């Protein structure tokens, strides 16, 4: 009996693919359109959950795109009432649609799924996708140039993109649609055929009605071959994924709140491996923002990192940016700005350390050497010390005693343009730079003003000012 067979198959799927949630007794939801696929799944779900003494609920979306929609909604309400099944109906109220009807309907549908799941306290949604859907999807993605992972086809379990905490379960991806027709016939279940499925203006319908039948004339086992291809590809990627993740952990680090990518290590891979690694990097940094970043964009980014200018900026989806600095790339999320100086800076008093942003201090007089990061000698006390960003004419002294323009220092040490602009400088009135800190407060340069602790006595300073801000 087909109903028993599919019922056992559904139970095994839930036990193997969703064991923790299945055992928790939390509610499951089922998306039902009244088509043969979803009505067959509804019959199987009801049969299994009655045996397990569990309940579930149904979500029906009335898109109001066809005259039959009201009749289908009324039938499903009657069916669920008769079978004592909890039903949630949502109606799409929209103006006349002229373009991208499929996309707009899909967005409303999945947004509604998210809302209903949250209202009902559920984290699982079952759909009736089957083997025919799988084959159509693989072929469409292949012809559209999707990346390798997408050619695995529809996944048995995946996050609901409008509510990522929830999962969509597809238990019958290996079942032919013919089995669903057979089941509803055996069980006497009424279903509705969507006449729009015959409209070849819709892409999937063209593949279903024209392209696949044509290809099957050349290869009668095409559907079986595509299914086997997707299955084998999934195994290969599952085997390779840990190696890709381990490599990316070595070349991608989080520094001062920014992701840093080692370009030189990335370039050590073959060309075909580089894009796979880059995709993994993007998924690790911001999967939601970079999920729609396609192959062409990834290849353009890869070319920028490998062959572009030594320093530059590349715009990414979601207002992210990549700053390339020679053999390192820094990823900045939207609005990310490091801020060092949060405290008001006033006059320093003798024999104390003044702490700025709780990260570093400036001191003079009889102060413990360990308490401060920079000490000012007496001979510099007649000048004002300013804390500001760089300006034209700034210079510093090298350990050799030679004077060097700050610009040349940045170039020699391969500072990225963004970091040069954000760096904080400790500057005397004549533009002599005696200290350089990154925007997050890390010391990069301090002029060697002392050798031993005894030299600290008697140092003084008149004032400490910051040019770019009010004190």
For residues 395 and 433, the answer to whether their CB atoms sit within 8 Å is: yes
Q: What pLDDT score does 101 carry?
A: 77
pLDDT at 231 > cutoff 70: yes
Between 380 and 4, whose confidence is greater? Answer: 4
Flag whether pLDDT at 367 surpasses 70. Answer: no
User: Is it true that 1-218 and 239-332 share their CATH fold?
Assistant: no
pLDDT score, position 272: 87
What is the C-alpha separation between 230 and 226, in angstroms, rounded? 6
CA angle (451 as vertex; 446, 454 as ends), nearest 5 = 120
User: Band of the pLDDT at 471, cuts 50, 70, 90?
Assistant: very low
pLDDT of 122 reads: 97
- For the domain made up of 239-332, give the CATH fold: 3.30.465
Q: Model confidence over 40-90: pLDDT tens digits?
A: 999 999 999 999 999 999 999 999 888 899 999 999 999 999 999 999 999
Give the HSE-up count for residue 412: Cα atoms under 13 Å, Cβ half-sphere: 7
Round to whole Å and give the CA distance between 91 and 62. 5
Q: Which pLDDT belongs to residue 2?
A: 95
Q: Give mean pLDDT, residues 343-356.
A: 39
Residue 462: pLDDT over 90:
no
Run of H or E residues at 22: helix 19-23
pLDDT at site 365: 44
DSSP for residue 98: -
CATH of 1-218, picked from 2.60.40.1180, 3.40.50.300, 3.40.50.620, 3.90.650.10, is 3.40.50.620
DSSP lists the bridge partners of residue 364 as 352
Domain ranges (residues) in the chain: 1-218, 239-332, 347-455
CA distances from 282 to 236, 269, 286, 328, 331 (A): 21, 17, 6, 15, 10
* Cα–Cα distance list, 208 to 129, 173, 282 (Å): 14, 17, 34
Predicted confidence (pLDDT) at residue 458 exceeds the cutoff of 60 = no
Q: Is this structure's pTM higher than 0.75? A: no
For the cut 60, the answer to whether the pLDDT of residue 371 exceeds it is: no
Torsion angles phi and psi, residue 108, rounded to 5: -60, -45
Helices (H), 52-168: 69-82, 101-120, 131-143
CB of 326 closer than 8 Å to CB of 414: yes
User: Residue written as tokens 């599919």?
Assistant: 6
From the list 222, 168, 191, the residue with the least C-alpha distance to 76 is 191
pLDDT at 368 over 70: no
DSSP string, 338-385: -----S------TTEEEEETTTEEEEESS--TTT-SEE--GGGTTS-E
């Amino acid at each position: 009996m087909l109903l028993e067979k599919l019922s056992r198959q559904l139970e095994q799927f839930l036990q193997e693919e969703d064991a923790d949630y299945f055992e928790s007794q939390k509610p499951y939801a089922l998306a039902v359109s009244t088509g043969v696929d979803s009505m067959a799944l509804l019959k199987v779900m009801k049969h299994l959950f009655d045996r397990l003494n569990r309940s579930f609920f149904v979500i029906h979306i009335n898109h109001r795109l066809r005259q039959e929609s009201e009749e289908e909604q009324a039938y499903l309400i009657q069916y669920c009432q008769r079978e004592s099944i909890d039903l949630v109906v949502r109606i799409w109220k929209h103006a006349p649609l002229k373009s991208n009807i499929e996309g707009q309907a899909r967005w409303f549908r999945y947004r509604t799924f998210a809302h209903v799941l949250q209202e009902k306290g559920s984290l699982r949604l079952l759909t009736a996708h089957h083997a025919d859907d799988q084959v159509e999807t693989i072929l469409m993605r292949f012809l559209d140039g999707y990346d390798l992972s997408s050619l695995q086809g529809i996944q048995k379990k995946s996050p609901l993109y409008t509510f990522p905490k929830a999962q969509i379960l597809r238990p019958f991806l290996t079942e032919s649609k013919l089995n669903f027709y057979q089941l509803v016939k055996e069980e006497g279940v009424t279903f509705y055929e969507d006449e729009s499925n015959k409209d070849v203006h819709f892409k999937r319908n063209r593949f279903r009605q024209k392209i696949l039948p044509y290809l099957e004339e050349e290869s009668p086992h095409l559907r079986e071959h595509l299914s086997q291809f997707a299955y084998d590809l999934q195994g290969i990627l599952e085997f390779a994924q840990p190696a890709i993740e381990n490599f990316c952990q070595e070349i991608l680090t989080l520094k001062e709140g920014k992701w840093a990518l080692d370009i030189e290590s990335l370039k050590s891979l073959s060309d075909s491996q580089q894009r796979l690694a880059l995709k993994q990097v993007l998924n690790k940094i911001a999967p939601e923002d970079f999920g729609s970043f396609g192959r062409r964009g990834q290849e353009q980014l890869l070319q920028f990192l490998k062959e572009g200018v030594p320093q530059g900026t590349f715009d990414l989806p979601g207002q992210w940016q990549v700053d390339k600095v020679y053999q390192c790339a820094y990823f900045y999320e939207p609005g990310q700005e490091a801020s060092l100086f949060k405290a008001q800076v006033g006059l320093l008093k003798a024999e104390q350390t003044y702490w700025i942003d709780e990260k570093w201090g400036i001191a003079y007089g009889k102060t413990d050497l360990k308490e401060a990061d920079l000490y000012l000698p007496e001979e510099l006390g007649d000048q004002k010390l300013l804390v500001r960003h760089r300006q034209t004419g700034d210079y510093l002294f090298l350990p050799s005693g030679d004077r060097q323009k700050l610009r040349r220092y940045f170039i020699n040490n391969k500072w990225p343009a963004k970091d040069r602009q954000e760096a904080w400088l400790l500057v005397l009135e004549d533009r002599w730079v005696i200290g350089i800190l990154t925007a997050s407060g890390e010391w990069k340069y301090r002029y060697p003003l002392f050798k031993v602790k005894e030299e600290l006595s008697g140092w003084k300073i008149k004032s400490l000012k910051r040019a770019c801000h009010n004190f």
